[in-house]
Chain A
Amino acid sequence: MRSPKAMLTVCLTVLVALPIGFSLGKIDRDRDKHGEARECEPQAPQAVAAAGLDGKTLRRLLREELRAERALAENDVERANPPSDEAEAKTEQADEAMERADQLVEAALREKRWTRSDDLALRQLFASLDAEQVADLSSRLFPAMNRGEIKPLHLNQ
């Protein structure tokens, strides 16, 4: 004959173990029913907690996963839509324009003068450049003029 204390322990164990066992069995049954896809679905908080993941870790993992997915998608888009010939030609034209504009500014710095023809040539080249390239050239040309390192002669020469 067991003691009352031992009996109470057995009863409690049965009471706690039965629902857990039932729940685990249900999860297993569901997994069998719907296949592996079910594993990728969001898990219930209890299950996340059971896996030892707190909310912060879960969010981090989700962010990483989303980032990876996005990177893959972007690569796919690039592969699916390679730059057109027209776009490539435009880039090539912009590169050439930037090179010529760069030579103009360098020559002005060397010769310490900015003539009317330099001014007109640069304006024409600007049309093929993007805002960043124009800013780069202007940041070199204007301060040099203001410091007197390049004399602006573009009004009458």
Chain B
Amino acid sequence: MHQVRRLGVVLAFALASVSSVALAGFRSSTRTVVWTGGAIGTLADARSAPGTTGYIGCTAVAYSGGSYVACAAQDAYGVYASCWSQNPQYASLVSSMTANSQLYFLVNATTGQCDYLEVQNYSYYAPVEP
């Protein structure tokens, strides 16, 4: 009986620890910002944003003639930005994206090419949820 009570205390402590761990840690929540020269936002926040138009993401394509990356974003107001690149380094960055990624890209206004592409994978970015 004494052992059962002791086990219950240990379990309660363990559950409390798990619970406190689950609540700990910084969580970032930002809305997707899009302007004609680029965009920044997390995949999760774009997906969970109000409205039906917002999104952010990239496509990586490989074909017989080479490889190709296209990134695009649109906010809740329909502001749109996109860029493309044949730079394999960009393709490598896109393949490093996860459900926790924040994406940031800058667009060359003349060619539409990506002047800058950044992928951040941090725990404080929420994962994409259905």
Q: Which residues of A contact B (CB under 8 A)?
A: 123, 126-131, 133-135, 138-139, 141-143, 145-148, 152, 155
Q: Nearest-CB distance from B123 to chain A (Å)?
A: 29
Tell me which residues across on chain B come within 8 A of A134, comparing CB atoms: 65-66, 68, 86
Q: Report whether B82 and A146 are in contact in the complex, using a CB–CB cutoff of 8 Å.
A: yes
Partner of A131, one of B65, B72, B81, B110: B65
Pairs A–B under 8 Å by Cβ, sample size 18: A126-B63, A127-B63, A128-B64, A131-B66, A131-B86, A133-B65, A138-B84, A139-B113, A141-B112, A142-B70, A142-B84, A142-B113, A143-B112, A145-B80, A145-B82, A146-B36, A148-B80, A152-B74
Partner of B61, one of A123, A142, A143: A123
> For the complex, is B55 an interface residue (Cβ under 8 Å from A)?
yes
Q: Report whether A146 and B65 are in contact in the complex, using a CB–CB cutoff of 8 Å.
A: no
Q: Which residues of B contact A (CB under 8 A)?
A: 36, 55, 61, 63-66, 68, 70, 72, 74, 80-84, 86, 107, 109-113
* A129 to chain B: closest residue by CB: B65
Tell me which residues across on chain A come within 8 A of B110, comparing CB atoms: 139, 143
Partner of A130, one of B65, B74, B111: B65
Q: Nearest-CB distance from B65 to chain A (Å)?
A: 4
Q: Report whether A147 and B65 are in contact in the complex, using a CB–CB cutoff of 8 Å.
A: no
Tell me which residues across on chain B come within 8 A of A129, comparing CB atoms: 65
Partner of A139, one of B66, B70, B81, B112: B112
Given contacts A139-B112, A146-B36, contact A126 B68 (CB under 8 A): yes
Known: A138-B70, A152-B80. 14 other contacts (CB 8 A): A123-B61, A126-B63, A126-B65, A128-B64, A128-B65, A134-B66, A135-B86, A138-B84, A139-B111, A142-B70, A142-B82, A142-B83, A142-B113, A146-B82
